[in-house]
């Protein structure tokens, strides 16, 4: 009977074998596209969720330029003219108080397009880079094969997204946000999130480990690489991804 340690040591190889066999399915390409679509939608929703986290956890009033008041030069030129369309608007105060959480939420909402376009772009870039690496290692697959592998690997990003949102919510819920200006609040928020670097890095490491298993199995199945060569190519990209996550 194998010991628990030996069983644990053989676990990665067993998982890779299962992944490799799954890539032999005729539905593998469809699964890859479906995962990219799901992650694209999930990332976009995650950006909106991040805005909701800011709104729920940052309860601070800040002073900003009044968006309802024209430019000072306009008010100087036309503000005293009772017939001017600017006269009433120039009577508004130059500065006004707003909720910092709502401002951060609106800023995050404006970044949704990064999820819609960023995920497919990442998929394409990683697929091309993976194809080059696999061919250098002696693989015989096509660019299309690398798109299938990259599509499967991208699914693990949902783990990182969920863990990141949870960590940011917990951190901001327990942070002291006391700035009175937008810049000060932003500085407090960044400082608080920086304090969650450890959990975020652990989440990234777990996601990258899952991707490592997927890509090794995919390279074996699609590029006919041996396990050592497949692991070498994949490890290179995993190290790069981990270094980027640590920045």
Nearest in space to 139 (alpha carbons), one of 235, 215, 230: 230
pLDDT of the residue at 7 = 40
Nearest in space to 118 (alpha carbons), one of 201, 214, 41, 193: 41
pLDDT of the residue at 1 = 43
pLDDT of the residue at 30 = 95
How many Cβ atoms sit within 10 Å of the Cβ of residue 83? 6
DSSP 3-state of 37: helix
**Cβ contacts of 32 within 8 Å, gap of 6 or more:** 147, 148, 149, 150, 151, 152
pLDDT of the residue at 6 = 38
Residue with tokens 């009175």: 180
pLDDT of the residue at 11 = 57
pLDDT of the residue at 81 = 63
Show pLDDT as tens, one digit a residue, over the chain (247 residues).
444 433 434 557 789 999 999 999 999 999 999 999 999 999 999 999 999 999 998 888 887 777 777 777 777 777 666 666 677 777 777 777 888 888 899 989 999 999 999 999 999 999 999 999 999 999 998 999 999 999 999 999 999 999 999 999 999 988 888 777 778 888 888 888 888 888 889 999 999 999 999 999 999 999 999 999 999 999 999 999 999 888 7
SS3 string, 38-71, reads HHHHHHHHHHHHHHHHHHHHCCCEEEEECCCCCC
DSSP 3-state of 180: coil
Contact, 75 vs 85, CB < 8 A?
A: no
pLDDT of the residue at 84 = 66
């Amino acid at each position: 009977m194998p010991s628990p340690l030996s069983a644990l040591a053989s676990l990665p190889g067993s998982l890779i074998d299962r992944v490799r066999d799954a890539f032999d399915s005729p539905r593998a390409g469809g699964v890859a596209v479906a995962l990219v679509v799901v992650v694209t939608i999930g990332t976009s929703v995650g950006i909106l969720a991040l805005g909701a986290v800011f709104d729920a956890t940052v309860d601070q009033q800040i002073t900003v330029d009044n968006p309802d008041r024209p430019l000072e030069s306009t008010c100087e030129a036309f503000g005293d003219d009772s017939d001017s369309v600017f006269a009433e608007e120039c009577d508004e105060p130059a500065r006004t108080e707003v909720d910092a959480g709502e401002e951060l939420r609106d800023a995050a909402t404006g970044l949704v397009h990064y999820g819609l376009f960023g995920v497919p772009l990442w998929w394409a870039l990683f697929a091309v880079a993976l194809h080059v690496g696999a061919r250098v290692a002696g693989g015989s697959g096509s660019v299309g094969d690398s798109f299938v592998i990259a599509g499967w690997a991208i699914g693990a990003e949902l783990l990182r997204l969920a863990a990141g949102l949870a960590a940011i919510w917990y951190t901001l819920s327990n942070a002291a946000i006391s700035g009175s200006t937008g810049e000060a609040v932003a500085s407090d928020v960044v400082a608080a999130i920086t304090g969650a670097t450890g959990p975020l890095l652990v989440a990234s490491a777990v996601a990258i480990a899952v991707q490592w298993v997927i890509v090794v199995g995919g390279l074996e199945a699609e590029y006919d690489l041996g396990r050592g060569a497949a692991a070498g190519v994949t490890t290179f990209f995993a190290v790069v991804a981990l270094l980027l996550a640590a920045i």
